Structure 1
Amino acid sequence: MTWNPFKSKKAEAEQPQASAKQGGKGRPTPSRKQAQAKEYRPLVPTNEERKARYKEEKKRLRARQDRQYEAMEQGDLRNMPRAEQLPIRVYVRDYVDARRNLAEWFLPVCLVCIVIAFIFGMIPQLAILSFVVVVLMYVYMLAAIVDMFVMWLHGLKPQLVAKFGTDKIKAARCASYAVTRAMNVRRWRIPKPRSAKRGEWPR
């Protein structure tokens, strides 16, 4: 270092401090742009991130559906899907569950009749019995249809209108829901009937 007679001792003492402050632990202090670039994250996720997010969302959805289905099996109204918690649907279910419906055994009876008719049809001497079984199956089907019409027109629909009003009742949707539930065996219905016995009508 060359000696400068015009340079004060105070300036010479401040020069090492300034250089040490600029270095900062042996390396230069990063600029603002460099710090922002280091913290930068892309707005558009990568394919791996999208797949992981989709898998996690699917897992949560499946867990929620499992909880809701378990609630329907147990008759837990508060944890069922929102559609099943609607007062109108609850009333329809309670009414159908309290009633004895011919359509409840329609599918099992038809299956048994078809099997019997097929067996009898293979034996020439019992061909007439096969025809009789088929006729009885159609008679039962007709009786079940009439019974469902009576249930809806003379029982469930008037009570729904009296309780909830005409404006809130969607007749086609409520009738379809009631018929679908009436065609299932009571112990296999989902959601589970709230009453263990028949005859307990909703209020």
Structure 2
Amino acid sequence: MFAAGRLISVFRRRTQEAPEDPPQVVKPGGKGRPTPKRADAQKARRQPITAPSNRKEAYKRVREKQAEQRVKAREGMSKGDEKYLLKRDKGPVRRLARDYVDSRRTIGSYLMYGMFAIVALSLLPIAAAKLLVLFAPPLLLAAVFVEGLWISSRIKKLSAERFPDAETKGVGLYAAMRAMQIRRLRMPAPQVKPGQEV
């Protein structure tokens, strides 16, 4: 009986004592941890593929992904990121044209507001307002046209000076058309403030 109890206590002591881990040898300049086995590393890299259960779910995922890409492209275009710009907006010459126009307050950017004001005046039963409505639109359009020609010639000269080897075809019309847009609605969005030196 005594021998059996002693034998049990010996076995119990052995199981309670945990074997000591071998000391980790760290190489000088090493990463400080053992290299994982290839199977473990591949298992950690694996991500579960959750395939759509039906066609409706697949279309939903495609639409969500496309919506995310459109938002990303719109933000990139607004910031003037070359990666997301349209072909007509790419290049240093076009960027110079945009910055040149955006650094000025143009008559063309107020054209739409002027036209709305003229339409509002035409509703008033005043003779002077009727006369103004008759002459104001052609004068306003003439001013915008002259301003467009001046901006076009100025940007052509400026781009030829700064980028002599770059393609400058169509840059004058590009700048003139941008000058006619309302500043808030311009795309790519203005990167310079009015009055800022370009």
Instruction: Bin the TM-score by the shorter chain.
Output: 0.5 to 0.7
Is the Cα–Cα contact under 8 Å of residues 152 and 175 in structure 1 kept in the other structure?
yes
Is the contact between residue 92 and residue 178 of structure 1 (CA under 8 Å) also seen in structure 2?
yes
Percentage of identical aligned residues: 22
Displacement of 1:128: 4.4
More helix by share: 1
Q: 1:198 to 1:189 in 2, by over 3 A?
A: farther
Whether 2:65 is the aligned partner of 1:66: answer no
Whether 2:195 is the aligned partner of 1:198: answer yes
**Secondary structure of 1:81 counterpart:** coil
Task: Detail structure 1 runs of 4+ shifted over 3 Å in the superposition.
Answer: 51-62, 82-85
- Unaligned 5+ residue runs, structure 2? 1-53
Do the aligned partners of residues 62 and 86 (structure 1) sit closer, same or farther apart at CA in structure 2, a change above 3 Å counting?
farther
> What is the match of residue 27 of structure 1?
none
Where in structure 2 are the equivalents of 1:36-185 lying within 5 Å? 59-73=64-78, 75=79, 77=81, 80-81=84-85, 83=87, 84-117=89-122, 119-120=123-124, 123=125, 126-153=126-153, 155-165=154-164, 168-171=167-170, 174-185=171-182
The structure that has the greater radius of gyration is 1
Q: How far off is 1:157 after superposition?
A: 0.7
TM-score (norm 2): 0.60
CA distance in 1, matches of 2:185, 2:178: 10
| Unpaired stretches in structure 1, ≥5 consecutive residues | 1-47
SS of the equivalent of 1:77 reads coil
Q: Say what the alpha-carbon RMSD is for the aligned residues.
A: 2.8
For 2:159 and 2:62, the matched residues in 1 are separated by 39
Q: Deviations over 1:85-119 (max 9, x none)?
A: 422221111111112211110011011112211x1
